Structure 1
Amino acid sequence: MGQNHEFFELKDKILYLKGKWVVENTKGIQKKISDFVGFERVDISLVDEIDTFGGLLILQNFDKSKLSGKNEKVESVLELVLNNLAKIPKVKKKSLLLRFSNYLEKKLKDYLFFLNFIGKSTIDFISKISDFEFRTFIKDIQNMGVGAIGIVGVLSFLIGLVIAYQSAAQLRQFGANIFIVDLVSISIVRELGPLIVAIIVSGRSASSYTATLGLMKVQEEVDTLDTMGVSPYTLLVLPRILSLFIVMPLLIVFADIIGIFGGMIISNLILGVNYAEFLDRASRVVTIKSFLSGIVKGPVFGIVIALIGTSEGFKVEQKAESIGTHVTASVVKSIFSVIVIDAIFSVIYRWLKI
C-alpha cells in the first residue's frame, strides 16, 4: 500500500514528488521528507511549481542518479542550482603550520610597529619638545591620578582585609598572631600594592588613551596635526607618559597605606592585635628597601601602560569599529605586560638579595 502526502506519494517503490516546491513550503516538505523510505527512484513529473529553494531541497535529499520523469521546469531549476553551487569556492581549511606562521607574522608586525612607535616618539620628544602642552599634562594627572584614588582605595582596603582574614585562622593555630603584621605589610608593600594599582590603571588609563587617540585618528585630527607641522607624539603621547610616570608611585603609596589599614582592622577584630602594637611592628618589619622595592615599579609600569595605550590608539584604522578592537587589545596587553614586568622585578630583587 502506498504512502500519500501533499508533496509526496510513494507507490511501487517510486517516490513521486508533487505540488508546489517553493520557499513558502520548505518547512512542511522538510518535516515529511524523512517519513518516506524504501524507494528506488524519484519521479519529478508531478511537480506543479518549483523555485531554487525547492531545487536545492531535491538535490540535498535525493541522489541525482535516482531522479526520473519528464518535467522541463524542474530540470531547468535543478540545472540552475547545480551551476550556482559549482561556482561557490570551497574554503580550504588552513593547516596548523600555516595558522601558526600567520600568528607569528601578525605578532612580529605588532612588535615592529611598537618599536617603530617608540623610535618616532623618542625622536619627536627631543626634536619637537616645543609642541609639549603643560595644560594637557596637568589635566591628565588629574584624570588618571586623582580620578583613580577612589577605586584604588576601595580595592586596596579589601585586599588588605582579605589577606588578613584568610591568614588569621592559620596563624592563630600556632599562636603566631603578631606575625599577621609581617604578612600583610610586606606582601602589600612589595607586591600587591604596586600590582593592584598597575592593573587598575591599565584598565582605566590604557583604554582611555586608546579610545581618545583612536577617535582622533578616525576623525583625521592626528593627520591634521602632522600637516600643520605639530608633532602628535609630543603633543598627545609625551604628556600621558609623564603623567603616569609621576602618578603611579603616588598611587602605590596610597594603596600601601590603605591596604595595611584594612589588614590592621581585621588583625584587631579577629586576632586581638591592637592598633598601636600593629603600627609599631609594621614600622620595624617594613624596611626602606621593602618600601622602595615596591615604589620603584611604579614609574616603569606607568611608562609601559602609557606606551601601550597610546600606540594602540595610533593603530586605529579609519573606521569606528576599529576603536573597540584596539581598546580591548590595549587593556589585555597592558595587564599582561605589567604581570611579566613584575615577575622580572621579582627575579632581579632575588638576585640582588633585596
Structure 2
Amino acid sequence: MKKLFSLKMIVLVAVLNVLFYLMFIQFYFEYFPNGRPDKDAYKVVIEMQQQYGLELDEAEFEQFKLSYHERVQEAEQLMHDDPQFKKAGISTYEAFRAMDVFSDNKEWNELDRYAMFNPGIDLFWELQGREYLIEQYERRLERPYANLSNEDAAALQRMDEMVASGTLNTIFPSMIYDNFKNVMFYVYAISIISILLIVSPIFLRDRRSRVVHLQHASRIGRSLFRSKLIAALLSAVLIISIQLGCIFLLYSQQPGIELFYEAPINSAFNFPYFWYDLTFAQFIMLTVAVLYVLGLITALAAAFFSSISANYMALVALQIPYIYLITQPLSRVLIEELIMLYKPKYAQPLAYGLFIAIVASLLAYRWHRERKGDLLL
C-alpha cells in the first residue's frame, strides 16, 4: 500500500478529485433545489414537516389546502394594489394563471415577466409549488399504477401493499432523492477512476522493474499475488472512505436535509417507487454499501488488468472499455436505479453476483498461473 500511495499518485488523484468535484458535483450543492418552482415547493415541504411531521393525514391535508387558499387571497390583494396588474386588467389569480404567455398579447407577456422574475415577488412561484404538492398528494393512490403493466403481478402486489399500509401519506420530497442520486452517480464515477489509477500499477510495476523472476524463485515471492490483492482491496476501501467522508461533510450542509433522514422514500411527493420500505437514511446506507462493493470489484479488476498487461499502453487499453461499461450501460442497473419498483426485483443482485463471479474467476485463474507457472513462461 505504501508503494501504491506514492506522493506522486496521491497528488494526481487529489487533483483529479478536486477538478471532478468542481466540474460535476459542486453544481448539485450550490443549486439545491435546482430551479423554480422546485425551490419553492421544497421550502413548503419543510414547513409541512415542521408543522405536521413526516406523515400527512386527510385533516392536515385539508388544513394545508386552506393555507393555499389564504395565500391565493394574498396574491389577489397584491394584484389589486399593484399598477402592473391593473394595467393588464388582471385582478384574480385564476385570470393570471389563465393568461396565454405565448400569445402576442404584449401586456400579458410583460406582466408574466414582472410577476415571476421580479426579485421582490416570490408569491406566485410559491403558489405553483403548493399547487404541485396538492396535485401530487391527491393523486398519490392512483399515480403509482400509471407506469405499471398489468402483467407485472409482483410489482402490482408491492404497490397494493404500499397503498394499503399508508406509506404514501408521507411527504419525503423528490428534490432530495434526485439531488442525492445525481451526487452519488458522480461519486461512483470518480471512485472507480481513482481506484483504477491507484491500483493499476500493482503488478505491472514489478514486471517493468524485472523483479518478477526473483519473486517467483521463492515461496514467499509466489504468495505476493495474494498480498497484492489484499493491498488492492484495502486501498479501494481507503479511497472510497475518504471520498465519502468529504462528500457527506458537504452534503450534511444542505438546507433541510436533516429533517427527512427518517422519512420513507416511498412517498406521496417522491418518484419512483421502491421494492423495499426504507427510510432515506437507510437508503443512503444501502447506496454506500453498493459503492463499496463496486469499489472492491474494481480493485480486483484493476489488479487483473495489471497482472496481464505488458506495459502501460496495454493497461490503459483494458481500462477504457471497463470505465465505459461500468459508468454508462451498467450504471443504471448497478447504482442509478437501485431497488426501483419498475425494474425486476432480482436484476441487481444477479448483476452484482455475475460481475463478482467473472472477476473472481479471472483472478483465480491468474493466481493459479502465478503459483504453478514455470519461470520460463
What's the TM-score once normalised by structure 2's chain length? 0.42
Bigger strand fraction: 1
Q: Which has the higher contact order (CA 8 A, sep 6+)?
A: 2
What's the TM-score once normalised by structure 1's chain length? 0.44
Rg bigger for which structure? 1
